[in-house]
Amino acid sequence: MNRSTLPKGWDGFAHDWAADQKVFKGMSWGKAMMWIFLLSDTFIFSCLLISLLTGRASTAVSWPDASVVFGLEVFGVSVPLLLIAIMTFVLISSSGTMAIAVKYGYEKNRKLCTIFLLLTALCGAAFVSMQAFEWTKLIVHEGVSPWGNPFGAEQFGAFFFMITGFHGTHVTIGVIFLLIMARKVWRGDFDSGRRGYFTTMKSDYLAIEIMGLYWHFVDLVWVFIFAFFYLW
Amino acid sequence: MPEGDGYDYKIEAKAYTASSSGASVSPAESPDQELYHSKSWWTTYVFSQDAKYIGIQYFCAATAIAVLGLVLSVLMRVQLAYPGLNVLDPSTYYQAITMHGMIMVIFFLTALFLGGFGNFLIPLMCGARDMVFPYVNMMSFWIFLLSLLVLVASYLVPGGPTGAGWTLYPPQVITAGTPGNLWGLVLMLVSIVLFVVGFTMGGLNYVITVLQARTRGMTLMRMPLSVWGIFVATIIALLAFPALLVGGLMLLLDTVLGTSFYMPAIIATSNFGNEVSTEGGSPLLFQHLFWFFGHPEVYIVALPAFGIVSDLISVHARRNIFGYRMMVWAIIAIAALSFIVWAHHMYIAGFTPWFGFFFASTTLMIAIPTGIKMYNWLLTLWRGNIRFTVPMLFALAFFITFLNGGLTGMFMGNVGTDIALSDTYFVVAHFHFTIGIAPVLVVFGAVYHWFPLATGRMLDEGLGKIHFWITFVGAYMIYFPMHYQGLQGVPRRYFEMYNSSQASSSGLNEFITIVTIVVALSQLIFFYNIINSARAGKKAKKNPWDANSLEWQTPEMPPKHGNWGRTLPVVYRWPYDFNVPGASKDYIPQNVSPSQVRGAKAERT
């Protein structure tokens, strides 16, 4: 059953689920796996953020004011949320470069695909570096730690370091895989059918799209963390 | 499996033409799966990427840790019946109770049903050559094994394993005085995190194999209910384990870093030597996270058992499963409901009665799909041509045991009765009937049923029957009196009740303990049967139970690497065509085309 003969709307949906072999017609195993994995990961981040709301609601001391804690002093002027704004901008932009890399991947334009993958990795690395800067500033200069801070409820630091740390780990893993993908594309693995070192399986440019799914997810999660932590 | 078995797996399945048989099956949508072919003994038998081998590895590892869980339970029973012997002191008793619970629920039953039976059965039953990502699947097992080692290692660290009960409730789990509140707890949490990571790698394989890698003609509504149960349980697990992961992570930080996610102001803790003061944490948050995982976990264990028992009953009663579609929808309904009932484990946590009203309502609603399943099993048996084989005996025992556990669930699900019965032996009896004995009986039935497929030999029927009767009757003698003890008010988690005012209860304790020892020892019969039959058992003929599902239709038995030889099977019917009027045999396998059984009136295909 290809797309052109598939009934429209709910009928088509029911048709796919009632058909043999595949539920998601035309979708590769890897891509389906990434979607299901992201669904599971969504539950992890949901649990983290819901825990944040619950924890914040039950503290004995008032919650610190995010715009004060995360302010940055530039040339003697205190600008609230400046660093976070830049970080968010960089990470969202990297979603754009990732999308372009996927497009050039499907066009088998190895050079431009590599460049945009590396650009995406660069943005990700910049994000993690800025996060490291922010953590250092909070820990060393402002005395914020997971077990206490001068601004208010100690759970603030605990949730902050846990959630941003968990997200930062996701970004770091993404950057590592972006670099691996960039190397594979540059070397032409997806054209020559070179086999994976661990899996001994061939791969193709679909891998870039699957990588992209993960990367967009990590960006999307950041938007929620940004809203829940910095704006609220 | 031996290398170079002569098959070229890259040959694409030939497009099926309608003229050759009179039925239409759509052509293959994707090229045949390319498999990893092992080149050495190590990559064939140890670091195997074949789902069948990984399944058996999971089975052996989970069974090995279950033996530890069983030994711990015997020690606890001896302590309860004969406190004068002092086999355990309060600390080791609590550690035993914690390890027993955690091992049996997560590291034994979850790993066994999903990792063991899931790996072994899903590709064979769906008509796939292997799981979709064999390498990731292999990693899943090794991470699981690592998590087991970390768990067992907690017996070697200072303070021993954590002794807070398998629910690990803070602040008690962290505060001084609880055994293993530092290293033991850290290792327990690390082990859980590893388990979740390993499970996720396997779980993605199971889900995608079912969704995207079925053979031609295998629609979702033609899958055996075993696959349905394992598949839906895996989805529940992928959505429920995140809550455990997050809850465990926060508990880990509270233990190691001295954060106070869960620690309220009244508590001062000592984290690895230094006193830490905490304030403002929410102990209830952990309970919510834990039970948001914990209740679905019940169905992660129960749904595969439901699925497998449906197949056992259908095959050994020579009767199509009654209400197949209803069985599938009941599995899905139970799975969906399992996510909105978690707080019925927390009725005594002290929240507003309206909360309890909501959760009691949703909890009792689960009785509807479960009731559908019970009646459908009963109606499958009705006027069936029942063969009292060992798998059938275990399936029937499951039926009774689970019914019993389900009925006591009515008491536990209602707030009023639950508050009175909380933390008594009534609860112990209830959950051991539902997710202890019942699934384990299914495991035994499934082992007797699929052992020929794994080894090519039959298990000894006589030993199997002895094992069955001791285990089933023994389990009843162990847990049925606990209901009475619970109603008498005997509290659970007490390490000694020697001078109890309930004389009848302490007499029962001795009785239960003696039966426990007998049942535990009788498992040796089972292990002997497995080892002896694998070596020198009666050779099994192909498809020894005359079953319809695909796993018995492989060209060789036991199936070789790639399962299906040259061409993948094509499926024409559901797996429950037993005693079809007009057919020459009393069963029609799924891959028999309508033209081969002309004149047979299949009820549903």
Burial class (CB in 10 A: 0-12, 13-18, 19+), B503: exposed
Reduced to 3 states (helix: H, G, I; strand: E, B; else coil), residue A63 is coil
Q: A20 lies in a domain? A: no
- The token pair at B326 is 């209803």
A21 within some domain: no
Domain assignment of residue A83, yes or no: yes
Cα separation, A128 vs A126, in Å, equals 5
Residue contact A24–B211, C-beta within 8 A: yes
DSSP B595: G
Chain A residues whose beta carbon lies within 8 Å of the beta carbon of residue B247: 47
Q: How far apart are the first and last CA of chain A?
A: 48
Q: Percent of chain A, pLDDT > 70?
A: 98
ipTM above 0.90, yes or no: yes
- Please indicate, yes or no, if residue A176 is contained in any of the structural domains: yes
Domain presence at residue A25: no
Q: What is the mean pLDDT of residues B118-135?
A: 96
Per-residue pLDDT tens digits for B377-431: 999 999 999 999 999 999 999 999 999 999 999 999 999 899 999 999 999 999 9
Check residue B12 and give its pLDDT.
Answer: 31
| B16 confidence band (pLDDT: 50, 70, 90) | very low
Judge whether residue B531 has pLDDT over 60: yes
| Residue contact B249–A162, C-beta within 8 A | yes
> For chain A, how many structural domains are there in total?
1
Interface subset of B 108-147, CB within 8 angstroms of A: 132-133, 135
- CA–CA distance, A131 with B495 (Å, rounded to integer): 50
**Average pLDDT of chain B?**
90
Give B250's contacts in chain A (Cβ within 8 Å). Answer: 51, 162
pLDDT at B14: 33
Question: Greater confidence, B465 or B489?
Answer: B465
pLDDT in tens, A117-172: 999 999 999 999 999 999 999 999 989 999 888 898 989 999 999 999 999 999 99
3-state secondary structure of A150: coil
Mean pLDDT of B515-520: 97
For each of the domains in chain B, give its residue range(s) and CATH number, in order of start.
48-594 (1.20.210.10)
Q: Is residue A17 part of a domain?
A: no
Sign of CA dihedral B497, B498, B501, B506: positive
Cβ atoms of B216 and B16 within 8 Å: the answer is yes
Q: What is the dihedral of CA B137, A206, A199, B557, to 10 degrees?
A: 50
The larger pLDDT score, comparing residue A68 to residue B59, is at B59
Task: Report pLDDT for A147.
Answer: 87
Predicted confidence band of residue B266 (pLDDT cuts 50, 70, 90): low
Q: Chain B within 8 Å of A59 (Cβ-Cβ)?
A: yes
> Which stretches within B338-460 are classed as H helix?
353-365, 367-381, 390-413, 415-421, 425-431, 438-455
Is residue B22 over pLDDT 60?
Answer: no
Give the pLDDT confidence score for residue B279 in this predicted structure: 77
Q: pLDDT tens digits for A30-75?
A: 999 999 999 999 999 999 999 999 999 988 889 998 878 887 777 7
**Average pLDDT over chain A, rounded to whole?**
92
Q: Closest Cα to residue A40, out of B106, B206, B359?
A: B206
> In this structure, what token pair is assigned to residue A122?
């660069």
The C-alpha angle with vertex B85 and arms to B81 and B91, in degrees rounded to 5, equals: 85
pLDDT band at B17 (very low <50, low <70, confident <90, very high): very low
Give B259's contacts in chain A (Cβ within 8 Å): 146-147, 154-155, 157-158, 162
Q: What is the pLDDT of residue B273?
A: 58
Pairwise CB contact (< 8 Å): B279 & A60:
yes
- The H or E element containing residue A132 is helix A110-136
CATH code of residue A151: 1.20.120.80
Q: pTM (2 decimals)?
A: 0.94
Instruction: Report which residue type is found at A198.
Output: F
Task: Give the pLDDT of residue A4.
Answer: 62
Q: Packing angle between helix B134-153 and helix B51-81, nearest 10 degrees? A: 20
Residue B7: predicted pLDDT = 38
Domain that holds residue A128: 30-231
- State whether residue A75 sits within 8 Å of chain B by CB: no
pLDDT at A231: 86
- pLDDT value at position B353? 80
Q: Residue B576 in 3-state DSSP?
A: coil
**Domain membership flag for residue A4:** no
Cβ contact, residue pair B29, A21, below 8 Å: yes
Q: Would you place residue B30 in the very low, low, confident or very high pLDDT band (cuts 50, 70, 90)?
A: confident
Distances (CA, A) of B156 to B72, B96, B120, B159: 16, 14, 34, 8
Helix crossing, B134-153 with B183-212: angle to 10°? Answer: 160
- Asked if residue A9 belongs to a domain, the reply is no
CB B160 within 8 A of CB B80: no
Looking at per-residue pLDDT, the higher value among A115 and B582 belongs to A115
* Residues facing B274 on adjacent strands: B271
What is the phi/psi pair of residue B123, to 5°?
-60, -40
